[in-house]
Chain A
Amino acid sequence: MKISYYPGCTLKNNAKNFEDSALCSLKTLGVEVEELHRWNCCGTVFSLATDDLIHHVAPIRNLIRVKEAKNDSVMTLCAMCYNTLKRANERVKSDPESLQKINDFMYREDITYKADVKVLHLLEILKNDISFKKISEKISKPLNNLKVASYYGCMLVRPEGIGFDDIENPVILDELMQILGASPVDFPYKVECCGAYQTVDKPEIIVERTHAIVDSARNNGADIIIVSCPLCAFNLDHRQKETLKKYPEFKHIPVLYFTQALAIALGCPKESLRFDLHYVDPKPILKEKGLIS
């Protein structure tokens, strides 16, 4: 059976490197995925208000699309999409009255949603369904000698019950990097927020966070930082430009999606890596380690 895939809006432009590398990796692993038909933006952030049902309509509508595709689970890549879809789903699962209202609101949909879709993140699928063992058998270019700081941020791990790893000390990315042959480094800032959407109107806040987070990775010996969220990627990579302006002694480190590291190890062609979308060029360090030509 094909896995239903929800891309979300940023994976189609700024984070095309995330999407292309993920899809190439899955193909190499022999997993068939199919993008949802007529998906819509999930709204990015889960509404925290008790009385704000309208903002759960967008994520729930996407879950109806999964049922239309005759599937019972959906794969996400973006950590924020994952969080929003999963939390909205949990909310209506535990609150039939809200579910009823949202269904009533979407009366033109052919399917009445029954809160029966499972929202999964690619990392869970890699670990639980495909298995890290099978991945290790398919590796053609182990990431030897590459020191990696895995950044989890917020939305992959919090709140408790939504994330699929320990909320204070997640390890799944480090485990994956180890399977790929890389060496994870200790990284105390791995679950510290990058400042998220403050990047639009208060980029000076992001400069401070990026400075602290990237410096910590460097001080622990990392060659690259690994992320799973396009907003983390933008803040930690592109905002290094403004960070350097404020802190002249600051040193750049490339930021990669975990799927790009996976794609390199699985021997995906370089077109799927899309390094042209990065601010800090990852090519020099990857060439130095003999991982790309």
Chain B
Amino acid sequence: MRINISRKNIKNSFVEKIIEISGQNLLHCYQCGKCSAGCPAVSEMDILPNQIIRFAQLGLKEELLKSKSIWICASCMTCNARCPKGINIAEVIEAIRLILLRKREDHVQIEKLSDDEKTEVPPIALVSNFRKFTS
């Protein structure tokens, strides 16, 4: 993949928003890959956790907003627990989700779930799913 690196992108308002919501210093990441190595969800992801941080450093807004990975992450906190630089990767991913959710771009449409899908799972699953995937 070909990427244009520009000062404009690196300092864009999208990056600022991620930093503000997540409270993380993206530039601390030195791309060791440990977050991705331990992530249980990488096989379903299109952009791996360490790449999410790199893309965020470079201000690649479109790639991040349309990535599947932000909806695959289950906030299990394994990456956070292992990052040698103390970066909370799960918080960065939550920030990207929230940038979409706060514009009402929901990932799960509750009205489209079938009765079966809603009744077979316990309340704990529904509450957490809607908290993470709807606005």
CB-contact partner of A44 in B21, B72, B121, B131, under 8 A: B131
Chain A residues closer than 8 Å to B88, beta-carbon distance: 48
- B3 interface residue (CB < 8 Å to A): no
At the interface, yes or no: B125 with Cβ under 8 Å from chain A? yes
B44 within 8 A of A: yes
Q: How far is the CB of B86 from chain A (nearest CB, A)?
A: 10
Determine how close the nearest CB of chain A comes to the CB of B76; give it in whole angstroms. Answer: 3
1/0 per residue, CB under 8 A from B, across A215-258: the answer is 00000000000000011001000100000000000000000000
Interface residues of A in 11-62 (CB under 8 A from B): 13-15, 41, 43-45, 48-52, 55
**Cβ-closest 6 pairs across A and B:** A193-B76, A14-B122, A197-B128, A158-B77, A197-B129, A48-B94
Cβ contact within 8 Å between A10 and B122: yes
A-side contacts of B76, CB under 8 Å: 154, 158, 193, 196
C-alpha spacing A52/B132, complex, angstroms = 13
Q: Are B129 and A201 in contact (CB under 8 A)?
A: yes
Q: B33 in the interface, Cβ–Cβ < 8 Å?
A: no
Among A43, A159, A168, A197, find the residue whose CB has the most chain B CB atoms closer than 10 A.
Answer: A197
Please measure, in the bound complex, the distance between the C-alpha atom of A234 and the C-alpha atom of B77, giving whole angstroms.
Answer: 20
Q: Is the CB of B127 within 8 A of A13?
A: no
Point out the residues of chain A lying under 8 angstroms from B95, CB to CB: 48-49
Contact A193–B74 (Cβ < 8 Å): yes
Main secondary structure of the interface of A (DSSP, over half): loop
User: Residues of A contacting B22 with CB < 8 Å?
Assistant: 48-50
Contacting pair A50 B20 (CB below 8 A): yes
B124 in complex: contacting residue of A44, A50, A51, A191, CB < 8 Å:
A44
Interface centre among B40, B88, B131 (most CB of A within 10 A): B40
- A residues within 8 Å of B by Cβ? 8-10, 13-15, 41, 43-45, 48-52, 55, 78, 80, 154, 158-160, 167-168, 191-193, 195-202, 205, 208-209, 230-231, 234, 238
Question: Is B9 in contact with chain A by the CB < 8 A criterion?
Answer: no
Range class of the B interface residue count? 35 or more
Contacts of B23 in A (CB 8 A): 50
Extra contacts besides A78-B124, A205-B72 (5): CB < 8 Å? A44-B128, A49-B91, A202-B72, A205-B41, A231-B128
The complex places the Cα of A44 from the Cα of B72 at a distance, in Å, of: 18
Q: Is A9 touching B127 in the complex (CB atoms < 8 A)?
A: yes
CB pair A234–B121 under 8 Å, yes or no, is: yes
Chain B residue nearest to A81 in the complex (CB): B124
B32 is an interface residue with CB less than 8 A from chain A? no
CA distance A51 to B95 in the complex (A): 10
Contact with B72, one of A51, A160, A198 (Cβ below 8 angstroms): A198
B133 touches A158 (CB 8 A): no
B window 105-135: CB within 8 A of A: 107-108, 113, 117, 120-129, 131-133
The one of A48, A160, A201 that contacts B108, using a Cβ cutoff of 8 Å: A201
Give every chain A residue within 8 A of B131 (Cβ-Cβ). Answer: 43-45, 55
Contact A10 B133, beta carbon cutoff 8 Å: no
Residue numbers in B under 8 Å from A159 (CB-CB): 77, 80-81
Q: Closest chain B residue to A11 by CB distance?
A: B124
Contacts of A199 in B (CB 8 A): 121, 125, 129
Chain B proximity of A257: nearest CB distance (Å) = 13
C-alpha spacing A199/B20, complex, angstroms: 30
B127-A196 in contact (CB<8A)? no
By beta carbon, the residue of chain B nearest A241 is B120
Q: How far is the CB of A196 from chain B (nearest CB, A)?
A: 4
Let me know if B43 is at the binding interface, CB within 8 A.
yes
Residues of B contacting A13 in the complex (Cβ-Cβ under 8 angstroms)? 122-123
Task: Tell me the bound Cα distance from A267 to B95 in angstroms.
Answer: 49
